[in-house]
Amino acid sequence: MNAETNPTAIGMFLAFALVTLLITWYAASRAKSRSSFYTAGGELSALGNGLAIAGDYMSAAAFLGVSALITNVGFDGMLYGIGFVVGWPTVLFLIAEKLRRLGRFTFADALSHHLDERPVRIFAAISSLIVIAFYLIAQMVGAGQLIQLLFGLDYGYAIAIVGILMVCYVTFGGMVATTWVQIIKATLLLGGAAILSVLTLARFGFDFSALVDRAVAVHPKHQAILAPAAIGADPISGISLGVALMFGTSGLPHILMRFFTVPDVRAARGSVFFASLFNACFFLMVFIIGFGAVALVLPDPAYLAPGGGLKGGANMAAIHLSRAVGGDVLMGFISAVAFATILAVVAGLTLSGASAISHDLYARAFGVSDEAKELRISRIATLVIGVVAILLGLAFRTQNVAYMVGLAFAIAASANFPILFLAMNWRGLTTAGAIAGGTAGLVSAVGLTVIGPSIWVKVLGNAAPIFPYDPPALFTMPLAFLVAWGVSVWAPRMAADGVETAS
């Protein structure tokens, strides 16, 4: 399956790239100030921002990765989709309103509201960049596999194309361009998933039970795909994944940044409502798509590689299903939508990373007040992040994209969420406590991830992991809370005792 056999896909790819580049050209004329570049001037409506947030959230991991996990393992893959949805009430009730009141451009603005600004911003920027790096891995791998499958291009060239386009969006258009790309992408993705779901169900008389029965019959694991096998075998990792997905959303920098694009708290709250609604509908359709791929793709040799597995990699289950139920035209459309999904998300991630460098570090932590220089640094940072994203996509090309996003959520839940929650709700948090707690969560989450199964075994090739649970959020998030509380409470007391003793 290559470029010559699917000209429809090529046409839709090029059309989307052209439209979004025109949007970027238009947005460039409006991205002259920091406010317009970082937050689109704070003028978005609740509906528009909710759709853009959903666009940020409905990533390659959501569409390609979760559907692939369901295709491979069934019920365990559905848990990822459920986890992605249940994180939104946490954002609504614990984060959105207070964050909008306290912040201006990034979540570090809210963190530094009652704390010493410079060390807090340095920590927030470093933490944000690490979370963004893990999240970028998933998007770049999905993009590379998709373009490789559809165009017959080498994986490295495919990754480079995505990197170049995302740099263009952010460098020239800022948040205005990124938001419109997200809105268009979210609309297309919801529509594409609906079409794919309806056509899949139509093959089984719109009887979901018949679809599941067929999937059970043809899957190599048969009835086992309806049982939580992974949780049964490793319940600690399953619970840890739930913790990561539930609280990680509230620590994702590119999601938090979107609450500053609306004019007031009410609009921020409405944004979460609409985002939750769109995401819930989307993941319901992903469940249908995943089981549809089991029933219609796995038994068909046309979609299988000679050495076993799906052509183009395991993440391509939804793409193959679109061809099975709708031919080359639907495959071209769904592929273009998946491509739009990836580009939009990496643009949002890149903008968030660039703002961490230019606003949190360069402008605020190091005290450079020149707005023009800050925007120039942001654009340079965008280029650097684009290069890093390409390198990460090459290094992690064999990983399931939903799995890699789960690790990003674990780090966000361990490093960002505890400190942000405490900073907005507990006046007793000190700067030292925030830095110590956030650093403990960040270092432990990254460290345990590196020596865990995902990297120590699957990437580095070792025989067995040093730390057996993956992701580590169940251990690292409570550690961050505990260290932040302990240092905030006991360090001032120890200092006071030391003064009394000396006197």
User: DSSP code of 2?
Assistant: -
CATH number of 3-413: 1.20.1730.10
Which residues, including other chains, have CB under 8 Å from residue 356's CB and lie 6 or more apart? 106, 108, 124, 125, 128, 129, 132, 253
The neighbour count for residue 184, using CB atoms within 10 Å, is 19
Asked whether the beta carbons of 88 and 276 are under 8 A apart, the reply is: yes
The Cα–Cα gap between 221 and 94 comes to 41
Which residues, including other chains, have CB under 8 Å from residue 254's CB and lie 6 or more apart? 56, 132, 135, 348, 349, 351, 352
Residue 503's pLDDT is what?
46
Residue 29's pLDDT is what?
65
Residue 1's pLDDT is what?
41
Decide: helix, strand or coil at residue 320: helix
Each residue's pLDDT tens digit, 362-380: 877 776 667 778 778 888 8
The Cα–Cα gap between 43 and 168 comes to 23
The neighbour count for residue 53, using CB atoms within 10 Å, is 30
**Structure tokens belonging to residue 47:** 């509906």
Decide: helix, strand or coil at residue 33: coil
Burial call 26-37: b when 16+ CB within 10 Å, e when fewer:
ebbebbeebbbb
User: Torsion angle of alpha carbons 24, 30, 36, 39, nearest 10°?
Assistant: -40
Residue 479's pLDDT is what?
97
Residue 495's pLDDT is what?
56
Which residue in 165, 158, 140 sits closest to 60, CA to CA?
Answer: 140
**Structure tokens belonging to residue 402:** 């939903």
Q: H/E element holding 443?
A: helix 431-450
The Cα–Cα gap between 37 and 58 comes to 23
Each residue's pLDDT tens digit, 125-141: 899 888 888 888 877 87
| Beta bridge mates, 310 | 304
Q: Which residues in the chain land under pLDDT 50? A: 1-4, 499-503
